[in-house]
A and B are shown apart, each in its own frame.
Chain A
Amino acid sequence: MTRFWTRLIVVLTVILGVNYVAWRWMASLNWEAWWIAVPLVIAETYSLIDVMLFGLTVWNIKFRKPPPPPPADATVDVFITTYNEPLDLVMTTALAAKEIRWPHSTWILDDGDRPEMRELAESNGIGYVTRGADWTPDMPRHAKAGNLNNALMLTSGEYLLILDADQIPEPDILDKTLGYFNDDKVALVQTPQYFINVPADDPLGSQAPLFYGPIQQGKDGWNAAFFCGSNAILRREALMQLGLVGYVKATEKSVRRALAASRTAIKKARRSPEAENPLVEQMLNEVEAATESAQKELEAGASLSEITYRVRRQVDDAVRTLVAADFSALQSDLEEIAAMELAHVGESGVTTVATDAVDRMSGRDWSPLGALESVHAVLDAISVERTDEAQPIMPLATISVTEDMATAMRLHGLGWKSVYHHEILANGLAPEDIKTMLTQRLRWAQGTMQVLLRENPLVQRRLTWGQRLMYFSTMWTYLSGFAAVVYFAAPIIYLTLGILPVNSISSDFFIRFIPFMVVNQLLFLVAGHGIPTWRGQQYSLALFPTWIKACTTAARNVWFGRPLGFAVTPKARQSGGPSWSLIRPQIIVAVLLAVALVVGLIRLLAGMSEPLGTLVNVAWVAFDLVVLSVLVKAVLYKGFVPEVVGPERPEERNADAV
């Protein structure tokens, strides 16, 4: 029934939204003030697409029934990932994980490599994993994805429950979720992330009831439930498949690149003065022949290991021939010298080159090919060892600082299914200060934008269109920062300068705009079953500097290889007084809005502007200020003070969640 009403309102929203925005484009633009008129209509179009994608998400909302009982012999590893969280926080989670009823092994994945952590884990009978010897300092570490990939190679459970260090699991978390894996195609079961240290008014917008609710349920309906990094169960086989596919892809790419580079390197070496040496020329001919035949074999679809092995052997043979030729020339020189000396001294025997010397002198480090350094380096890259990573198999995606979204998208691309299980089965800790909260939001947004720029879901041919749009929808929401700037600027410009981005504010505007606005809010109300979404709406506008920064830093990172300035989210509250400087751009905007309000009223009294336009824009400014007011609360928030905790609390939560 809910589904019917939801769909009806989605249809209404789309009709009324298109009706409004089409009118805006075709009949309402004030071209004389195009510099604000066009950005505003683009921002409104952005918002329409945003709400249409939300509508598409909840169109297929899926309410799952509890899964069947899991196979009794399912084996599970529980991974608790940590980097620098306090030891007692990690241990609280680890000990709770140990108490999970389904048989399992518990592991602390300590990327901080802390001896005290190891000791604590071992004395409590909990497994301890840290990066192995392969993770030398010159290898990329890939943060949490690297931590998990390392642990995957050292453990063996069929399923993996992944928990952040602060996410305390319920004892029945596996009993309630493992059954979904009876479907052989299910690779992932995600449960909500819920935070226990958040007051009812949620000043930092930590809880995400809309996301861990209608949005994930809607995505689930499109078989696109997201992996969110914690409180999720994964099928090892699926991850390994992902790692292998990724390995083959990366290797083929690097072999292709190396073969192409070897052509250039050989060409360059031929032009150098050294190439006049007949030995060098002969060497280059041999190498060229080897790489050319490798290229042909690659096009013909031969296996990478065969191709790379053959190149290496051909080159090695050429090197050996060269070394042997050197030695035989050397030997005949020695014989001539001996013949001369025989005449004077009569000493017997000619020194001969040791027989095993050819092998040693042909080895990688002493090979005469080393003289052609660029050629030598390129040939080294024609390999299947993936020498640029600590381990060849990297199951969790490493293209983004938020490994989870990219991993899930690739799993879906391989035809695996995901499940969203709508029941709180772990209790976590949210940031308790605005600084940490901003760091965390920035990281999520950056990671999401990295995935968009590196693996745009819209062009992933193996995803269904529903899946592509579900991924794209989440990425689209992170572009809201640019629209927010326009939404703040437009009323300020009208109230202070009297410049209106539309032709006129008339009934034409109201009869199109108001029904759209009403049905839009109704959609959130119905789709969300009345869960509070206002906090989320406020933050999506109020954090505009964070969203813009995420977009620009991610673009610079992906296109120009610049660092993101990545930081691990601290779990402990950051000390210090209210940090107003963190929201300086928002304070400036709020001041400008307030000034605009005053100037607008003066202009109205002076008869310089029309009452209706002023009224609409004053209302708009008031809305903007209410949106931004959430940040005052956030900056002044002094951290969570638990209310008197009664025994009824857990029930309250569970009832709320299901």
Chain B
Amino acid sequence: MQFSYEVNDSYAEVKSVGRLNMVAAPKLREVVAEVVAGGSSRVVVNLAETDFMDSSGLGALIGCLKAARQAGGDLRIAGVQPQVKMVLELTNMDRVLTAYPSAEAAFGDD
């Protein structure tokens, strides 16, 4: 699992590559915390290259959402793959996290 991020004018994009599982989840929390602490509270987690997510991965996403909101921003997700989409639907979390087609589209409306 690898995370990288890129900050631009209106938001920060965190790329998650590989399996977002029990082992990777704490790293995601760290990366997002770092991004938010750096002043970018509008965060997009790009999941285009994440083919698997388990309950710990989902927990980390929600934890990151909380961190972003606490900082006055938001966390959105983009490029959701089939397994991740199934997990979101199954847990009702698709009602909390809207899946956007791409990182650019995620904050396209505001």
Please report A residues at the B interface, Cβ cutoff 8 Å: 274, 277, 279-280, 283, 322-323, 326-327, 329-330, 333-334, 336-337, 340-341, 351-354, 356-357, 360-362, 366-372
| Residue in contact with A326 in the complex, picked from B24, B56, B65, B83, CB distance below 8 Å | B56
| Residue in contact with A371 in the complex, picked from B21, B58, B70, B93, CB distance below 8 Å | B21
**B62 CB–A CB distance under 8 Å:** yes
- Which of A283, A322, A367, A371 has the most C-beta atoms of chain B within 10 angstroms of its own C-beta? A371
Across-interface contacts of A336 in B (CB, < 8 A): 66
- Which of A322, A333, A356 has the most C-beta atoms of chain B within 10 angstroms of its own C-beta? A333
A contact patch SS? helix
Across-interface contacts of B83 in A (CB, < 8 A): 366
Q: CB distance A334 to B90 under 8 Å? A: no
Q: A323-B54, A333-B59, A334-B62 are in contact. List 11 more A-B contacts (CB 8 A).
A: A277-B26, A322-B56, A337-B66, A351-B95, A352-B92, A353-B91, A354-B90, A357-B90, A366-B52, A369-B22, A371-B54
CB-defined A-B contacts under 8 Å, sample of 14? A323-B55, A327-B55, A327-B91, A334-B96, A341-B69, A351-B95, A353-B92, A357-B92, A366-B55, A366-B83, A367-B54, A368-B54, A369-B22, A371-B23
Q: CB distance A329 to B90 under 8 Å? A: no
Name the distance in Å between B53's Cβ and chain A's nearest Cβ: 8
Shortest Cβ distance from A323 into B: residue: B55
Q: A327-B59, A353-B93, A371-B54 are in contact. Are A277 and B69 (CB under 8 A)?
A: no
Q: CB distance A370 to B66 under 8 Å? A: no
Name the distance in Å between B82's Cβ and chain A's nearest Cβ: 13
A369 and B22 CA atoms in complex are apart in Å by: 8
Shortest Cβ distance from A369 into B: residue: B22
A611 and B71 CA atoms in complex are apart in Å by: 112
**B63 CB–A CB distance under 8 Å:** yes
Across-interface contacts of A274 in B (CB, < 8 A): 23
Shortest Cβ distance from A354 into B: residue: B92
Shortest Cβ distance from A272 into B: residue: B23
Q: CB distance B90 to A337 under 8 Å? A: no
Q: CB distance B63 to A326 under 8 Å? A: no
Q: A274-B23, A277-B26, A366-B87 are in contact. Are A337 and B65 (CB under 8 A)?
A: yes
Chain B 47-75 interface 0/1 with A at a Cβ cutoff of 8 Å (1 = within): 00000101110110011011001100000
Q: CB distance A326 to B55 under 8 Å? A: yes
Name the distance in Å between B20's Cβ and chain A's nearest Cβ: 10
A354 and B88 CA atoms in complex are apart in Å by: 10
**B85 CB–A CB distance under 8 Å:** no
| Residue in contact with B91 in the complex, picked from A361, A369, A372, CB distance below 8 Å | A361
Across-interface contacts of B54 in A (CB, < 8 A): 323, 361, 366-368, 370-371
Q: CB distance B91 to A326 under 8 Å? A: no
Shortest Cβ distance from A278 into B: residue: B26
A113 and B91 CA atoms in complex are apart in Å by: 47
Across-interface contacts of A330 in B (CB, < 8 A): 55, 58-59, 62-63
A330 and B66 CA atoms in complex are apart in Å by: 10
Chain B 78-100 interface 0/1 with A at a Cβ cutoff of 8 Å (1 = within): 00000100010011110110000
Name the distance in Å between A402's Cβ and chain B's nearest Cβ: 47
Shortest Cβ distance from A359 into B: residue: B90
Q: CB distance A354 to B56 under 8 Å? A: no
A371 and B22 CA atoms in complex are apart in Å by: 6
Shortest Cβ distance from A368 into B: residue: B22
Q: CB distance B69 to A368 under 8 Å? A: no
Across-interface contacts of A361 in B (CB, < 8 A): 54-55, 87, 90-91
Q: CB distance B70 to A340 under 8 Å? A: yes
Shortest Cβ distance from A353 into B: residue: B91
Q: CB distance A333 to B87 under 8 Å? A: no
In chain B, positions 16-64 with a C-beta closer than 8 Å to chain A are 19, 21-24, 26, 52, 54-56, 58-59, 62-63
